[in-house]
């Protein structure tokens, strides 16, 4: 697919590993200058070096998304260094595993803060730049099929992703008139660090065996959707969508 990302400034959160790492590489390969954020600065530096070696450009903006007060200053830092943000990929996320009756308030707050509250304020910070500079923009929120169905032992995670889908629609409704499109990608099971070692366990293997093609996805399986939703022209009529990429998981 032909993209129009050359010269754009893209901010990817949760870029130190997994999907965020891949997203940053893909956007940089298409000509965007990428601001990469995460807690682990050393991993960001390694990623920036990989992107530079491939001919792209990335700037490290270390950021703990649980620190809500630090989000707007990080966005301002990006604007000062690179210019206004054109694309935001709200990818940072975490999960906690427990039965409903066993969840602690601390674990509940950790999941909802990073997965939903931080996405709200990162979107706000990016949109304020887009609106102030009268520049059309793209916001891509990384949700999950868990936003549509209950996953056992992950109530706060499912709640946060359902909320993120609702937030995406609110962004689309309120910011569409400014030329800002907001959409969500809702992956099924993708092999990333956030899944930890669960999928290597007997329970994890049984879950994979129940999937239509008895396999997990890989980060590269989301490349096409990401590029579609970040492209100004290709996604011009796609706004407020929650697009599922799950290899048929929702069909079972």
pLDDT in tens, 232-250: 999 999 999 999 999 888 8
Is 135 domain-assigned? yes
Is 4 domain-assigned? no
Is 251 domain-assigned? no
Segment among 51-60, 132-141, 205-214, 238-247 with least mean pLDDT: 205-214
Q: Which of 11, 157, 175, 189 is catalytic?
A: 157
Beta-strand relationship, 9-12 and 242-245:
unpaired
- Specify the pLDDT at position 117: 98
Neighbours of 218 (CB within 10 A): 12
Is 233 domain-assigned? yes
User: Residue 152 corresponds to which tokens in the numbers above?
Assistant: 């056992």
List of residues 6+ apart from 43 with CB closer than 8 A: 16, 17, 21
- Specify the pLDDT at position 211: 84
CATH of the domain at 120: 3.40.50.720
Neighbours of 68 (CB within 10 A): 15
- Specify the pLDDT at position 152: 86
Q: What is the mean pLDDT of the chain?
A: 94
Tell me the per-residue pLDDT of 65-97, one tens digit each, with 9 for 90 and over: 999 999 999 999 999 999 999 999 999 999 999
Q: What are phi and psi of 48, to 5 degrees?
A: -60, -40
Is 248 domain-assigned? no
Is 29 domain-assigned? yes
| pLDDT over threshold 70, residue 196 | no
The pTM assigned to this predicted structure is 0.94
- Specify the pLDDT at position 76: 98
Higher pLDDT, 32 or 251: 32
Domain range for residue 193? 9-242
- Specify the pLDDT at position 194: 65
Is 1 domain-assigned? no
- Specify the pLDDT at position 203: 73
Q: Is 108 a catalytic residue?
A: no
Give the total number of structural domains in the chain. Answer: 1
């Amino acid at each position: 697919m032909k993209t129009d990302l050359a010269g754009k400034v893209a901010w990817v959160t949760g870029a130190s590993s997994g999907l965020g790492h891949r997203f940053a590489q893909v956007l940089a390969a298409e000509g965007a200058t990428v601001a990469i954020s995460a807690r682990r600065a050393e991993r960001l530096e390694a990623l920036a070096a990989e992107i530079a070696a491939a001919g792209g450009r990335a700037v490290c903006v270390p950021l703990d998304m649980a620190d809500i007060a630090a989000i707007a200053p990080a966005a301002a830092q990006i604007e000062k260094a690179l210019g206004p943000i054109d694309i935001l990929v709200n990818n940072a996320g975490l999960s906690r595993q427990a039965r409903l009756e066993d969840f602690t308030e601390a674990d509940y707050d950790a999941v909802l803060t990073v997965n939903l509250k931080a996405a709200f304020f990162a979107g706000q910070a990016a949109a304020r730049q887009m609106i102030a500079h009268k520049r059309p923009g793209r916001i891509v929120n990384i949700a999950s099929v868990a936003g549509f169905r209950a996953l056992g032992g992950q109530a706060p995670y499912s709640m946060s992703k359902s909320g993120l889908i609702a937030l995406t629609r609110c962004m689309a409704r309120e910011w569409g008139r400014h030329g800002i499109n907001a959409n969500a990608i809702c992956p099924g099971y993708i092999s990333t660090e956030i899944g930890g070692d669960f999928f290597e366990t007997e329970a994890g293997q049984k879950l994979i065996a129940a999937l239509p093609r008895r396999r997990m996805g890989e980060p590269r399986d989301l490349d096409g959707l990401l590029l579609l939703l970040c492209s100004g022209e290709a996604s011009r009529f796609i706004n407020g969508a929650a697009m599922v990429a799950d290899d048929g998981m929702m069909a079972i």
